[in-house]
Amino acid sequence: MKKKILVTRKLLKENEDKLKELFDVKLNQNDELYSPEKILELSKDCDGILSAITDKFDENLINKLSPSVKIIANFAVGFGNIDIQAAKKKNIIVTNTPEVLDDATADITILLLLGASRKVLEARRAAEKQDWTWSANFLLGKQMSNKKLGILGMGRIGRAVAKRARGFGMEIHYHNRNQLSKELEEGAIYHPSIKDLFKQSDFLSINCPATKETNKLINKETINYLPKNPVVANAARGDIIDDEAMIEALKSKRVFALGLDVYNGEPKIHPEYLKLDNIFLLPHLGSATKRTRWDMGYRATENLENFFKSGKPKDKVN
Ligand code: GLV
């Protein structure tokens, strides 16, 4: 008999077709954002759940899940939306979708750095108004080429960002929990402390996971380690930045510009960010290409399939 799977969000048709072939699936045709109560109700007779970052599987929800639910396959590389320890205690395996979204997310990171440094928001507003005139001093940005790029979190996405930034002639610096092998570093300079990394970062790219340790890691104190007027981009998770401190730094121009794809409490965005000009905002588009979403869907499906076949999904995170 086919295993029963709750799929909490609408996926690409190709992914849903594959899921239907392998499992007895409950799809979300209207792409409704399910409440925890609805997830509990819909999953009560299910063997697994294919979840998305918009679902908050906290301890309370996990503890109330039916004992039949044995796996939560998250449709994302990040899994901060799931209390993986609570899941482990309940013998629920959690998986993610690494690798397949590295390129798309690294592309978006470069877009954030460029969008912020070249004043794309102000430029768009000026172009729309059609009352601009070319002048030698009009909307001058900061040049990325040949500057130093600091990468916070040199995992697969951080390394894909480094690869692109080398094309701009940037010198790559990074901080990570552990130093990479020479082969993976490809000439990037390791800094064992955040302070040393930030001191070198004309441009700073945040590509680390959201953990207790990285929560509000970009704060009043650490922003002041950065050189004069840096450009900062966050394509990782909103809670890595202390918004109040960043807003103050943007207002005073201590930070030249900020590019954001992710937010604390998204889809809400801190209202002060929306009033600023030196910011470039995107609505969490890191992995938003058809190719990548397609691959993420297959990867999550494969994790479910392997779990029910062998108990060993490739991307187990707890
Ligand atoms: C997107 O934010 C992801 O974690 O996949």
Distance 109 CA to ligand 1 centre (A): 13
Q: Each residue of 278-296: pLDDT tens digit?
A: 999 999 999 999 999 999 9
Q: Domain for residue 211, yes or no?
A: yes
| CA nearest to 290, candidates 37, 4, 12, 32 | 12
Is 173 marked active-site?
A: no
Q: Which two tokens stand for residue 54?
A: 């918009």
Stated pTM of the model: 0.96
Residues 192 and 244 reside in one and the same domain: yes
CATH of the domain at 44: 3.40.50.720
Residue 305 lies in a domain: yes
Nearest CA to ligand 1 atom 3: 76
Report residue 267 as tokens: 């889809």
User: Is the distance from CB of 261 to CB of 235 less than 8 angstroms?
Assistant: yes
What's the gap in Å between 295 CA and the centre of ligand 1?
13
User: Does residue 318 lie within any of the structural domains?
Assistant: no
Domain count along the chain: 2
Is 99 a catalytic site residue? no
Could you tell me if 259 and 113 lie in one domain? yes
Question: Ligand 1 centroid vs 95 CA: distance in angstroms?
Answer: 13
Instruction: Kindly state the helix (H) or strand (E) to which residue 232 belongs, with its residue range.
Output: strand 231-234
Q: Are 116 and 93 members of one domain? A: no
Say if residue 161 is in the same domain as residue 112: yes
Within a domain: 81: yes
How many Cα neighbours within 13 Å face the side chain of 145? 0
Q: How far is the CA of 126 from the centre of ligand 1 (A)?
A: 32
- Say yes or no: 127 and 200 in one domain: yes
Range of the domain at 75: 4-100+290-310
Query: How is residue 154 written in tokens?
Result: 């040199």
By most ligand atoms within 8 Å of CB, the mutation choice from 50, 51, 53, 282 for ligand 1 is 53
Within 8 A by CB and 6+ apart from 150, the residues are 173, 174, 175, 197, 198, 200, 201, 203, 204, 205
Q: What is the pLDDT of residue 195?
A: 98
Q: How far is CA 62 from CA 16, 211, 270, 306, in A?
A: 25, 19, 29, 22
Residues 130 and 239 in one domain: yes
**Domain identity same for 190 and 261:** yes
- C-alpha radius of gyration, the chain, whole number: 21
In whole angstroms, give the CA distance from residue 37 to residue 178.
41
Average pLDDT, the chain: 97
Give a yes or no: residue 36 inside a domain: yes
Q: Are residues 121 and 222 in the same domain?
A: yes
Which residue is catalytic, options 99, 248, 266, 272? Answer: 266
Question: Does residue 44 share a domain with residue 161?
Answer: no
3-class DSSP state of 250: helix
Looking at ligand 1, which atom is closest to the CA of residue 78? Answer: 4
Atom from ligand 1 closest to the CA of residue 262: 2
Percent share of the chain, pLDDT over 90: 100
* Spatial separation of the C-alpha atoms in residues 302 and 156, rounded to whole Å: 20
Centre of ligand 1 from the C-alpha of residue 78, in Å: 5
User: 118 and 93, same structural domain?
Assistant: no
Name the burial class of residue 213, with classes exposed (0-12), middle (13-18) and buried (19+) by CB atoms within 10 angstroms of its CB: exposed
pLDDT of 131: 83
Is 183 part of the annotated catalytic residue set?
no
Distance (Å, whole) CA 67 – CA 12: 29
Would residue 315 count as lying in a domain?
no
208 occurs within a structural domain: yes
Tell me, yes or no, whether 16 and 46 share the same domain. yes
Q: Could you list the pLDDT tens digit for every one of the 318 residues in the chain?
A: 999 999 999 999 999 999 999 999 999 999 999 999 999 999 999 999 999 999 999 999 999 999 999 999 999 999 999 999 999 999 999 999 999 999 999 999 999 999 999 999 999 999 999 989 999 999 999 999 999 999 999 999 999 999 999 999 999 999 999 999 999 999 999 999 999 999 999 999 999 999 999 999 999 999 999 999 999 999 999 999 999 999 999 999 999 999 999 999 999 999 999 999 999 999 999 999 999 999 999 999 999 999 999 999 999 999
Q: What tens digit of pLDDT does each residue of 131-154 get?
A: 899 999 999 999 999 999 999 999
Both 266 and 299 in one domain: the answer is no
Within-domain flag for 304:
yes
Query: Could you give the 3-state DSSP secondary structure of residue 273?
Result: helix
The active-site residue out of 118, 173, 284, 293 is: 284
